[in-house]
Amino acid sequence: MKSGKRVQRRSRQADGGQPQGVVPTNSKRRSLAKKSAPSKAWTGRIAEPTHQLVERFTSSLPFDRHLFEYDVLGSLAHCQALEKAKILTRTERRALVRGLEQVRDELRENRFPFADSDEDIHMAVERRLTELVGPVGGKLHTGRSRNDQVTLDLRLYLRDHLRTLQARLQDLQRAFLGQAREHLDVIIPGYTHLQRAQPVSLAHHFLAYVEMLERDNARAQDAFKRVNVMPLGSGALAGNNYPIDRAFTAKLLGFPALTRNSLDGVSDRDYVAETLGVLAIIMMHLSRLSEELVLWASHEFSFVDLPDDFCTGSSMLPQKKNPDVPELIRGKTGRVYGHLLSIMTTLKGLPLSYNRDMQEDKEPLFDAMGTVIECLTVYAELIRRLRVRRDVLSGTLGSGFLLATELADYLVKKGVPFREAHGIVGQLVRHCLEHRKEWHNLSLADLKTASPHFSKDALLFLTLEGAVDRKAQTGGTSRKQVTRQMNAWEARLARKA
């Protein structure tokens, strides 16, 4: 059995081949399998069969079915560990492996015979395994509990999906980088408080999102470190009584570390909360992007055109081109935020160790992860095909006094204190507003009326290209700095490909 790479390969098959959230109803299950009574081996001290209402209420099968690949994978590794500990013979281990592989195939191909008694995916797998291989199937659970089994499955799930998340983040970074390279020569109004502030390179603006996404990537990578710890062997809460080599199991599954405390091992869901926090921050960044695209695609701005096939028309208004994708992503942000709050609220009052409340960790996690990966995938394609309205942008740059700070800095270079220069230029702006003028309408005499420090070179100082290229320090919007940043990002993303 290969570790690490095998986990990733198998889980991708599951993600691609199984529709999320689709589980046969009770009536459909009855058509697939005989109605089964609760197993006495599992009822223990409980004398009565579980009430049908409770059975439906407590079932996690509709959502934890997503974990079947990981559940089988963890069980395959556990089989080898049990054989190494001499709890299973080689013949028994081989029988269990064949049975588990058949169970996995049935689940992948949507022909698994679910039973009414299947409380969760773990019980469903073990029940079917025992049907296939006989009583030896009951040996598989030796030395483990569903408590450590489910957190193992979740960690395996997250390990794969965090990798996918990082790949999607990098795809979107590449899309922004392509747009930046194509529009290096385009200047746009930069804004603060949604008021025109200073001219900036459009490429510089696009690279701002590359930076945000890189921090998201780093957060996902950092969360991965805490996910990538193996809890199997923690038992129900106290460990187990068998000589099972946990390090051996961890190596089979590609985990570099083991949980060090069995109580924490079964009750830790920090890694779920942390992942949801990462996802929430990603959605915050995508929502900011959405807001800009909605504004920029509006008639009032008209800075960009969104691809027609990423928009919709109106059922009543024939002229409409609605930015549905950015609006939906902006809306889905609240949904992901809600999932983060849900898990934090679930965990906040739980004593050690495992509590059934923790069953509520999966639906928020699965939905948030699927939502964010889908949003990133859609946005990467939209950004690649975004059309910039160069003509509109060019026509907007002559208004709004974008070069006011340049004029103040000119006076500073002539020896005027900045606060005084700020006041002088502010008076010039007020003069222009009162007389309906822009900077290009001012004469040298107008400037000298405001301050004797103005000379004829002041008018030459007032160019958009000069204003942009003077910001030549690291992090600035000059063409030289932006080109340097683009080259660095291209090399960095190429190494990650």
- For the purposes of burial, counting CB atoms within 10 Å of the CB of 360, is it exposed (0-12), middle (13-18) or buried (19 or more)? middle
What SS3 state is found at 237?
coil
Which residue type occupies 399? S
Contact in structure between 73 and 160 (CB atoms under 8 Å): no
Q: Which residue in 429, 340, 400, 447 sits closest to 199, CA to CA?
A: 400
Contact in structure between 144 and 152 (CB atoms under 8 Å): no
Q: How far apart are CA 147 and CA 129, in angstroms?
A: 20
Contact in structure between 286 and 333 (CB atoms under 8 Å): yes
Q: Which residue in 69, 64, 63 sits closest to 10, CA to CA?
A: 69
Q: How far apart are CA 11 and CA 71, in angstroms?
A: 11
Q: How far apart are CA 218 and CA 223, in angstroms?
A: 9
Contact in structure between 237 and 263 (CB atoms under 8 Å): yes
- Residues with a catalytic annotation lie at 193, 314
